[in-house]
Amino acid sequence: MTSPRSANFRSARGNYSPWYLSRPRLVVTCCLFATLYLYLHYYDGSTPTLIPEDSFELLKDESLTDIVNSTLGFEKILVLNLPFRTDRRDAMTLAAATSNMKLEFVDGVTGDSIRNSAYPPPEENIKLSAGIRGSWRTHMNALQRIVNQNLTTALIFEDDVDWDVRIRPNLQRFALASRFLSEHDNVRLTPAKYPIDYRPNPETADTTFHTLSDNGITEKLPSLPLSSVYKKPLRYHRQPPPPPPNTPTSPYGDPSQWDILWIGHCGAGFPRYYEYSPEHGRPQVTAANVLLTHANDQSVPSGKWLKAHPFQGDLDPLANAYPPHTRVYHRATGGELCTVGYAVSQRGARRLLHQFGIKAWNGIFDSELGRWCAGQDPQTEAESSISKENRQNSTPSTGKGGRHGTERVCLTSQPPIFAHHHPVDGESDIGGLGGGYANKYETKYLRYSVRMNLERIVQGVKDLVDQWPD
């Protein structure tokens, strides 16, 4: 017979539940495990990268400190220079010294010194002007040196290049953009995770670069503030595993993920590559078409000054697409001109040397490079002699780089970080930009130009001249 006391004990014991099943404690337990899961799977252990508003201030991020060194975070800086242009070599040497840059000169060649048998297909290359042929070969010599020396990254300058005295802060910001744009290929950027703004694209058939078909001009420019990408230590996707020991690294992102950083030019088009989502009827936003924006950048001239050269008819579309003093970073799939300054990875140097040194080359090097970055190079197919008219009627670029290999990744900044300097009575050995000669003493796009302030810098004058004041 069971006593009332034992029955009450069993009843009380049957109603007992473990501590972790009580409602308040269950909530606390779930939150604890959720926090642990997020920390292990999403947090990369880094602190937020805050982008200062002062365009002179360096970013306080250890991964960007190499940009402060004498090669701007690249293994080498190579300068293309014809040996008889000692005037340009002198000016380049002095400008670099005032900016604490270490240069290595690559001797240029003239077209007349190249034998006809040395050109890649097609045969009409030998009919191009001597200046164009010499420029092509000089760029090939620089790429050859990068491949021979197995450089992870190198920055290539033409000898009339110029830059703002704020070059290192500008490159640090570009490095943040470069990392995001080169390492997010398989990530769809959704409004739920990123504050995407769709801005009207002011580009027209008249304002685009005619090295590409104008069929691919997009109606909208999906834009994302650069600061929104790096202000949070929590990431929205799983971080890649750490690289193996002795893997080449760069402050500009994994060099195995990008080919060209085209940051010195005389004009660029906005990205052309869109992937449409059938279920939503609108473009998917990815690294291939997004534009990262940096507002209130005081190293950017106001819109009325955004022209590559004096005889350019219209302003750059950038002037009408974004508020004044906005810099944008994006994939260079919309056409680009002038190779005044561009960086290449070892992967990119090998690809370019194969494409333009061996496989096929048929025109001015910078326009052909712009087409290559856009994934358009029909002259490499069996019909290598395709006419320029047919090229203009080609379909918009997919950005995939043809039928073989992985996607070509070329990144750029608008306005450019490096620009052409036009000295007093200076004249190019190739030809003027855009079909004319720029005889005015100036450097477009750069406010506190090193070349324009060179005498003041050498003399120790602290007050520099702003070329393009508001």
What pLDDT was estimated at residue 302?
Answer: 95
Q: Is the pLDDT of residue 5 over 70?
A: no
Backbone angles phi, psi at 225, to 5 degrees: -60, 135
When pLDDT is cut at 50, 70 and 90, the band that residue 21 belongs to is low
Q: How far apart are CA 364 and CA 368, in angstroms?
A: 6
Percent of the chain with pLDDT over 70: 72
Average pLDDT, the chain: 81
Look at residue 233 and tell me whether its pLDDT is greater than 80.
Answer: no
pLDDT bin (cut points 50, 70, 90) of residue 9 is very low
pLDDT digits over 78-94, tens only? 999 999 999 999 999 99
Q: Is the pLDDT of residue 241 over 70?
A: no
Highest mean pLDDT among 122-136, 182-196, 387-401: 122-136
Which pLDDT score, from 0 to 100, does residue 164 have?
A: 97
Report the largest interatomic distance among the alpha carbons of the chain, rounded to a whole angstrom: 118
3-class SS letters over 347-388: HHHHHHHHHHHHHCCCCCHHHHHHHHHCCCCHHHCCCCCCCH
Residue 184 has pLDDT above 60, yes or no: yes
Give yes or no for residue 382 having a pLDDT over 70. Answer: no
Buried b (16+ CB within 10 A) or exposed e, 270-287: bbbbbeeeeeeeebebbb
Q: What is the pLDDT of residues 147-156, one digit of tens each?
A: 999 999 999 9
In the predicted model, is pLDDT for residue 428 greater than 90? no
pLDDT at 314: 83
**Of the given ranges (218-222, 244-248, 277-281, 304-308), which has the lowest mean pLDDT?**
277-281
Q: What does the pLDDT look like over 322-352, one tens digit per residue?
A: 999 999 999 999 988 899 999 999 999 999 9
* DSSP three-state, residue 149: coil
Calculate mean pLDDT across residues 181-202.
86
Query: Is pLDDT of 312 > 70?
Result: yes
pLDDT at 225 over 50: yes
Which residues in 108-232 belong to E strands, given as ranges?
A: 153-158, 161-163, 197-200, 220-225
The confidence score (pLDDT) of residue 380 equals: 44
